Every structure is written in structure tokens, then in C-alpha cells.
Structure 1
Amino acid sequence: MGDWEVRLIGSGGTTEREAAGIAALLRGLVADGAALGWVAPPSAEEVGALIADLVAGVPAGDTASAVAVAFTAGGDEEVAGFGYWRRYRRPTHRPHADLEELAVAPGRQGLGLGRALLSTLIAAALRQGVEVLTLDVRGGNTRAEALAQKLGFHQYGRLENFVAVGDARHDKLFYALDLRELRGPAAS
């Protein structure tokens, strides 16, 4: 993959350096106005608790998370992207999961990292028997919309002026990927 790779975060968790890199990535993106669910940049402790929660769900197939690392000229790794999904908690929704975050560093966008992260997470969902993978996108995030559509997600709804960022309001767009269709009839 050139100067970067994507890997799933297993039940062993992340290294301290990866966790710090994920926190820095999310903090920077939110500070720049990215639609990641936070109004203010999350603290390192918040991100650490998120990662711990995601890792705890790995053995049961309740979560999957992936990190994209870029290799620097000096041979070091830096976090260039992060994403995860979680199964829905309601018993009637347990066969399904929601992609809650997909984030790529601004300097690494347009290189295929988002697609690789999302593809890795879709593959993990398939392995874990997820039937439908959902995600939502803040209206106006055309890159995220285009990526979801390229990988087979279809828009199934919109809530107008739903996302509140200060005084600004944005639409919330809902997408779904039916993984049962990818598995075929014998695997359903």
C-alpha cells in the first residue's frame, strides 16, 4: 500500500503511541470542524476510554476498529486514520452494527486511506455476521457521501437541520449497506 497500511485493532488494544496518535487525530479534526460527533475536541482520556470500550467488545464480535498508519521517511509510524463500528445494543437490532467514526488526517485525504479503512471495517463486519452496517453523514460532507456510495451504501433517510454545531444546523444523512446481499443466499 505504499507509505501506509490499515490494520484492525485486536483484543490486545493499541500501543500507547497509537492511542496518543488516535487522540491527536480526533482532537485536530474536531478542532477544525470535522463532523465526528464532538462539539469540542475530545480529551486523551475520553479517547482512551473509547478505545478501551472498543477493545472490550472485540472478543464477542460487538465492535471492530481499525487504524491507518503512515510510515515516515525516518521509518516511524504516525496515525493517519481511524474508524470503528459497534453492534446495536437493543436485542432486536443486535444483528446489525453502526459505523460510528471514520476519520482521515487532512494531509492524507485523497490517497485511498478512507476507502481502505472502510473496506477493512466492512470485511470485519462480514466475518462477525453483521447483517446491515449503517452510518450517518453530516449534510454537506460530500467526500464521505461519495465514499459510502462507492462502497455500496445507499441513502435511506435524512433529518433536516438535525446536527447542531453551535448556532449552525446541518442535515443528518442515513446510509446502509446490506451485508446479507454480499454474503449471498447460502450464508444468510
Structure 2
Amino acid sequence: MIGPEGLGRSEAAALGELVRELVAGGAALGWVAPPPVAEVAALLAEELTLVVAYSGDLPVGFGYWRRYDRPTHRVNADIEKFAISPRFQGMGVGRAVMTALIDAAVAASIEVLTLDVRGDNVAAAALYESLGFRRYGVLERFVAFGDARYDKLFYALDLRA
């Protein structure tokens, strides 16, 4: 997990390159084209809890959550971005990143952790469900990627128990 000092410049650049690579490969991260590295670095400098997985010095996956802005919702947080390089999928990296995000949420007294996933990302949905997330809704054909339309699935993990 990245500490309160955040990412160093070279770490932010390396993570920005990973995001560009993932988006170019079709990862559902909210961009339709690879974003500039500076845009990713600026995003990751915001107030959030970030977990990065490395292989040597290179990032191979990441995820982050952020508390909801509304005062009445600030006891909860949303996992806004989560992705693992295809070269490292199926090796437990995604589970490790998600587990670290959940552990950080518990330590921060988050009550409910939410996320959404594009409906065609069956592997991610299976991972979330295996970690205790429950699907609570769907927006059909909500995500537009060129001419394609995908469902948006909503998940929540109740950490109050």
C-alpha cells in the first residue's frame, strides 16, 4: 500500500504507463483511449487509498478506493479503479490487491465498500463475489465503448459485521 506521502514521480510515471497499456488493451477503466501519464499521476495524487502490486520495480496492477464526498456517506467508500496487467492475471495478484484494499477499508472504519464493473468482465465479478461482495444492481447497456454497450454491475461489501 502506498503511504500518506503518495507516489514518487518515477512511481507515478510507471503507474501511468501501466494504465495507458491496460486501456490500450481494452481494460474498462473509464477511458476510451490511453490517457496521458500526467492525467493519471494527477488522479492518483488526489485523496484516496491506493494499493499497487509490483514485479521487481514495475507496477503490474493497482486499485484504489475513495470515501464518498457527501457527509452522510463518508462512512462508506467506493473502489473506483482496479486493474491487473493481463500478464499477471490468474496468479493471485488481483486477490492480493483487493484484499489489501479491503484491509485498509477495515482499518479506516469504512462501513460499506462499493464498486462497479463492466458486465462482460466475468473474471473480475467472480473475484469480487469470492471476496464477499454482493451484487445489488445492474444498469443494462449503460457503458458505451464505441458502438458496443455493456451492463454496469454494482457490488457492495458490508464491513460492519
| Fold in common (TM above 0.5) | yes
TM-aligned CA deviation for residue 39 of structure 1: 1.2
In structure 2, the partner of 1:3 is none
Identity of aligned residues (%): 58
Q: Secondary structure at the match of 2:45?
A: helix
Q: What is the aligned counterpart of 1:100 among 63, 73, 80?
A: 80
Compute the RMSD of aligned alpha carbons: 0.9
- Deviation digits for residues 69-93 of structure 1 (CA, Å, limit 9, x no counterpart): 112xxxxx11111110001101221
Larger Cα-atom Rg: 1
- C-alpha separation in 2, matches of 1:140 and 1:40: 19
Question: C-alpha distance in 2, partners of 1:65/1:112?
Answer: 18
CA distance in 2, matches of 1:106, 1:25: 11
Q: TM-score, normalised by structure 2?
A: 0.97
Unaligned runs of 5+ in 2: none
Q: Is the 8 A contact 2:65 2:79 kept in 1?
A: yes
Aligned counterparts of 1:157 and 1:41: Cα–Cα separation in 2: 29
Partner of 2:4: 11
Q: Distance in 2 between matches of 1:15 and 1:45?
A: 13
TM-score normalised by length of structure 1: 0.83
Q: Which runs of 4+ in 1 moved over 4 A?
A: none
Q: How many matched pairs? A: 161
- Which residue does 2:25 correspond to in 1? 32
Structure 1: stretches of 5+ with no match in the other structure: 1-7, 58-62, 72-76, 182-188
* SS of alignment partner, residue 123 of structure 1: helix
Q: Distance in 1 between matches of 2:44 and 2:138?
A: 29
Match of 1:66 in 2: 51
Shift of 1:28: 0.8
Asked whether the equivalents of residues 7 and 45 of structure 2 are also in contact (C-alpha less than 8 Å), the reply is no
Per the TM alignment, residue 102 of structure 1 is displaced from its structure 2 partner at its CA by: 0.9
